[in-house]
Every structure is written in C-alpha cells, then in structure tokens.
Amino acid sequence: MAGRIPDSFLDELVARSDIVEVIGARVPLKKGGREYKACCPFHNEKSPSFWVSPDKQFYHCFGCGAHGTVIGFLMQYEKMEFLDAVADLAQRAGLELPHEAQATRDPGTADLHEIMARASRFFEQNLADNARAQKYLHTRGIDAKTSADFALGYAPDSWDALLNRFGAHDEERRRLFQVGLIVERTPGGERTAGFYDRFRDRLMFPIRDSRGRVIGFGGRVIDQGEPKYLNSPETPLFHKGRELYGLYEARRARADFKRLLIVEGYMDVVRLHQAGITYAVATLGTATTQEHLNKIFRMTSEVVFCFDGDRAGRQAAWRAMENSVPLARDGRELKFMFLPEGHDPDTLVAAEGANAFESRLKIALPLSEYLVQQLTSEVDLDHVDGRAKLKALAAPLFARMPEGIYREMLAERLAARVSMPAATLKQAFIAGDAPRATSNRTVDAREEPLTTQRSRNKLGRVSAGRASAGRGNLLSQAITLVLHHPGAARFVKDPEMLNSVTRPGVAVLKELLDQAAAMAQPNTAKLLERWRARPEYGRLCELAISDPMVAELPGAAKELQMAVEKLLEECGPGRRMDELLRKAEELGLNYDEKTELSSLLKAKGRPRAPT
C-alpha cells in the first residue's frame, strides 16, 4: 500500500498531521506528563489504558494492543482504507495527493470523473448564456462571485441538450447513463428506445467530494414544477448517505472549524457562505446519517443542526437526534437550532444578516436538553404513569448511547425530571440494556475469531513482558532504540559495516538506520509508515511500543552505538571468519563456504582459505 506513494510524501504528511489533534477530535484525551491518555475507543474499559505520544506521533492501548500512526488510527477508527486515510489527512494538511495515489485510489473511475467535470462546465456555460436563470439567481440574492465559487449552472429546457453534446457514441451514452446524467426511455426492455437528459430547465448545484471533484448534481426548478429538487441517483461516484453539500467549499474557505452547521437545502448553504457563514453544509435530500456525522467529527467536535421551525423541521430534527445518539460522547457537542416560523436559513440570513443569525447559535439546544424537552412534552410528569412512560421512551435512546460521562449526566438529568434517584434510573436502563449490542467500534471478545483473540492475547503479553525480552536480544534492542529515538541514527559510526553481517534481521536494522539518518526531522511514525506494506511492520510496531530503557537522545545514541559495535563483534566478518577457519580444520568446507572464507581472508589481507 505505502509503496504506491513516495516516501517523501508520507514523511511530509505525517509531519503535518498532529496525531493528538486528529485523535483528540474523536476521543477525549487528557494530558499526563509528556503523553495523552484516554479510555480506549477500541474496547470497553473503565480506566484509561490508551495513550498517545506527540513526540513519537504514535498511539497504543495497553489493554487490547491497538497501536499505530495517525494514518493507522483513521484506518482502525474510521474503517478507512489506507489510501483513503492518506487522502483525508492530505486534504486537512493542504497537500495534493500524488498522482500515483490518485490513479490507484480510483481505478476505473477516472473517465467518470472527467465526464462529470465536463458536464459541470457545460451547465456553467449555459447559466452564463441564459438571462432567465441569471435573473432567478439575482432574485435569490446570489452574486456572481458566489455563483462561481459553487460552480452553479443551468440545465437547458431540452430533452437532449447534454445528450447531444456528450453522447454521440454508444460508449459515451453508457458512461453518461452510469453517472446518472441521462435516463433510459425503456429501462430493462430488450429494445431500447433511447435516452433523455435527467436534468432539464433547472438551476444546477454541482456536488463535490473532499478533493473538489464533481460526483453528482442537485437541480432546482426555476419556476414551478415537481419535484422541487432533483438529485443525481446512486452511482459509482455518488452516495447521498455519505456526502455533504458544501463541505468541499467549507474546507476550502478555512482550514479548521470551531463547528459545522447542518442545514437542509442547497440554496441555504450557498446563501450562508455568501454571508460569511462558511461552515454551513447540507445533507442531500436525506436525513443526517451516522456516516455524515463520522465525516464531520473528523474535522470538528461541534455540530449544530439547523431546522425550520415548522412541523416538518421538528420531525427532521428528531430523526437527526436519533441518528446522533450513538455518536454522542464526551468531548463532542451536538446542538439543535430552530428558526422562526416561515423562515429557512436562506431567507433569515438575508433578512437579519450574518451577525444576528450567528447569535442564534448561542441559544441552540444541546442534544441532552433537546432530548429531555421532547420527551417531557409527550408525557404528564405530574403522575406516576407519565413518569414511567418517560423512562420507557428514553430507555431505547439511552441504550444506543456510548458509555461515559455524557451518558451518566443525561441519566441524572432525566432522573431529576421523573423524581427518581439517578442510581435507580441508571440501573433500570442498564437492566433493560443487557442484550444491547456493542457499538460499531467495539467487538465482543466472544464474537471474535479465535485467531483474533489469540492475536490480542499475544499483544497483551508482549505489552507486559516485551521490555525484558527486548533487553535479552541485542538486535531487538538496537532496533527498539532506533524506533524510539530515530535521531540517534545520525550518531552511529560506520553503519555500513553492518552490511557485512549476515545475521537475520540485521538488514532491517541497517535500513532503519539509513532511513532515520536521511530524514530531516525523524520520528517513530515516519519510520513505521515506511514499513507498513512489508512483513516486518507488525514486529516493528511491537518494538515501538516496548520500553527502550533510555529516555533521552544522548543516552540513546550512546546505547545504539554500543549495540551496533557489539553486533559487529559477535556477528561481524571477524567472527564468521574464525568460525569458518575452525570448521575447515575440523570438518572441511563446501564450495560456498570456501568462497565466503576466501573473500573474508582477502578483505583482511590474510592468505587464502585452505582447499
């Protein structure tokens, strides 16, 4: 995997990606000395055994054995593929993904992305040439700069304008159909009567992925018509349950966010960005999903849902709350903001301005408060039956919430409303929650394959006893020192002498020394990423977790030099030459051994080996 991306790019990516910041956006970290600690996000535990080292840019759990670099964390926590994790971090760091990675990451879709790009330019040009569409944008208060920033366009009032432009041949029509730009007239029939344009006489909103590539479109009618908004269908490029409109533009406008504001419509996003509220995004005609929220929580710890104040808006808010509950945990803020009756974000920001609009964020309801308000509005708390009903309504939501302080505080908040001791209410929830499945990030050990359990058990034993084992192995000790203190590699004298050592594993040490010495600012994570796709990676990670017994660089450099010298003394050419000479006298040598001994003797300036 890593071999497809230049080492220099991975070095720069790891250097620019602060592992504490990335993990801290997902897991509540607390500083403890030079490191940060937390309860592990990969298994259930009550006391913290998960630590993150800013110096090494490495994380490790002493409970379950989870460990890795910032890239590895995204792969493990977000269930990303390697190249997707690299692309995500590159986007955050403002780095352009190397061509090698782009080609590998999108096999078979390059042509589809090009088709979408050409279609987007086609719609943009049509907007520039259509006075009616431009007038509509003007009446909605959208200026030319904002229109250009969002690449707004217009689909002509024609059944085949785009089809005629880009679908002259069967293969072109097949690809247009594959990305949802045209519709088959007689789908599924043996005889095909042809195709027609999906989008006609609509204002077009290109939907872009995190790298700015057009993956789909939203089309809005300009006058009257149904449906009011029409989205691209699910395609190899576009999955509406994963994408957020305006996220690319938001990330382009600012590198970091205090919060992200989720609204309901394309025009809401465009109008808010024009007003300077550049952290607004929208779901694409669907309720906010956990995939949406996972994507958002990779960038910020605060989410504000913004809904119209009517009945439909409150129904949408409740659905968003239900999907949010499993992701509500310590360190994250989920809030709900409701607009005055008759307004949506587009009209409200136009009426009162950005400052007044943003001031409403201060009174947005936290998820816990919104949940309690909604539940209590459905029951009569003056009677026992009503309080019992409240508990029954809350129990399924409580069961879906991850364990932690957030869940505890919510239980206490509800207990106060139903006049029940908090401990009693929590016990009732827990009792009703006994068969609850683990969260999608936690695997019950009883459900793990036996090989996985053995692997975890092995990692646990290694965590507890690897230090003494490492000290008993000279080669492991040397490699451990390089991994923990890569800067020490520059102080090793004559590392090239290790090339003459034939002992297994020495070549790994030599390569690590060369890699570390060549890096401008080496650290543990950079070194490990060089080995991710190689069989030695797992063992190197274990050594990176072990105790090097030396805390500072000067001492590590001295220890490393001594270890290298000892290896040369015990396994170098002199020792091997003596072994071969003894064997020659006692048993005799085969052809290969004779050749080897002759080379060693020649290097030492001694007579040739006996025949």
Annotation: CATH topology of 110-231: DNA primase DNAg catalytic core, N-terminal domain (3.90.980)
Give the model's pLDDT for residue 108: 59
CB neighbour burial string for 259-290, b if at least 16 within 10 angstroms, e if fewer: bbbbbbbbbbbbbbbbbebbbbbbbbeeebbe
Average pLDDT over residues 434-440: 36
**Range 378-432: architecture per CATH:** Up-down Bundle (1.20)
Q: 247-372, what's its fold?
A: Dna Topoisomerase Vi A Subunit; Chain: A, domain 2 (3.40.1360)
Going by pLDDT thresholds of 50, 70 and 90, the confidence category of residue 279 is very high
Mean pLDDT, the chain, rounded, equals 82
CATH class of segment(s) 2-105: alpha beta
Please report the pLDDT score of residue 255 as a whole number. Answer: 57
* Maximum mean pLDDT: which of 80-89, 218-227, 553-562: 218-227
Most confident of 409-423, 444-458, 475-489: 475-489
Question: What is the helix (H) or strand (E) element at residue 458, kind and residue range?
Answer: helix 450-471
Whole-angstrom CA distances from 420 to 406, 411, 440 are 19, 10, 31
Determine the pLDDT at residue 438.
35
Query: Mean per-residue pLDDT for 458-480?
Result: 52
Which of the pair, 403 or 276, is modelled with greater confidence?
A: 276
pLDDT above 60 (res 61): yes
Are the beta carbons of 422 and 411 closer than 8 angstroms?
A: yes
- Statement: residue 608 has pLDDT above 60: no
Most confident of 252-261, 323-332, 449-458, 506-515: 506-515
Per-residue pLDDT at 439 exceeds 90: no
- Which residue in 13, 74, 17 sits closest to 41, CA to CA? 74
110-231 shares its CATH topology with 450-571: no
Q: Contact 87/151 with Cβ under 8 angstroms? A: no
**The total number of residues written for the chain in this structure:** 611
Residue with tokens 């991975």: 10
Query: What is residue 528's predicted lDDT score, i.e. its pLDDT?
Result: 92
Q: What is the dihedral of CA 128, 129, 132, 136, to 10 degrees?
A: -10
Report pLDDT digits (tens) over 516-549.
Answer: 999 988 999 999 998 988 888 888 988 888 877 7
Neighbours of 257 (CB within 10 A): 17
Residue 436: is its pLDDT beyond 50? no
- How confident is residue 225, by pLDDT bands cut at 50, 70 and 90? confident
- For residues 19-47, average pLDDT: 89
How much is the pLDDT for 556? 83
> Cα–Cα distances in Å, from 222 out to 200, 206, 363?
10, 16, 35
The amino acid sitting at 349 is: V
- Cα(393)–Cα(251) distance, integer angstroms: 38
* Range 450-571 classified under CATH 1.20.120.80: no
Confidence of residue 357 (pLDDT cuts 50, 70, 90): very high
Give the span between the Cα atoms of 411 and 231, in whole angstroms.
41
Percentage of residues in the chain having pLDDT higher than 90: 35
Question: What is the structure's pLDDT at 134?
Answer: 96
- Taking only Cα atoms into account, the Rg of the chain, rounded to an integer number of angstroms, comes to 31
Give the mean model confidence (pLDDT) for residues 261-281: 95
Candidate from 91-105, 434-448, 476-490, 497-511 with smallest mean pLDDT: 434-448
Mean pLDDT over 454-465 rounds to 33
Rounded to 5 degrees, what angle do the CA atoms 203, 291, 287 make? 55
The pLDDT score that the predictor gives to residue 285 is: 77
Two tokens at 150? Answer: 């969002």
* The pLDDT of residue 465: 35
State yes or no: pLDDT of 506 exceeds 80. Answer: yes
Residue 468 confidence class, pLDDT cut points 50, 70, 90 = very low
Average pLDDT over residues 128-137: 96
pLDDT at 374: 87
Confidence (pLDDT) at 462:
32
Q: What is the pLDDT of residues 143-192, one digit of tens each?
A: 999 999 999 999 999 999 999 999 999 999 999 999 999 999 875 544 45
Confidence check: pLDDT of 444 > 70? no
Domain-by-domain residue ranges, the chain? 2-105, 110-231, 247-372, 378-432, 450-571, 574-604
| pLDDT score recorded for residue 441 | 33
What pLDDT does 377 receive? 84
User: pLDDT tens across 546-605, in order?
Assistant: 877 777 777 888 888 888 878 777 765 566 666 677 777 778 888 777 776 777 676 555
State the pairing for strand pair 365-366/30-32: unpaired
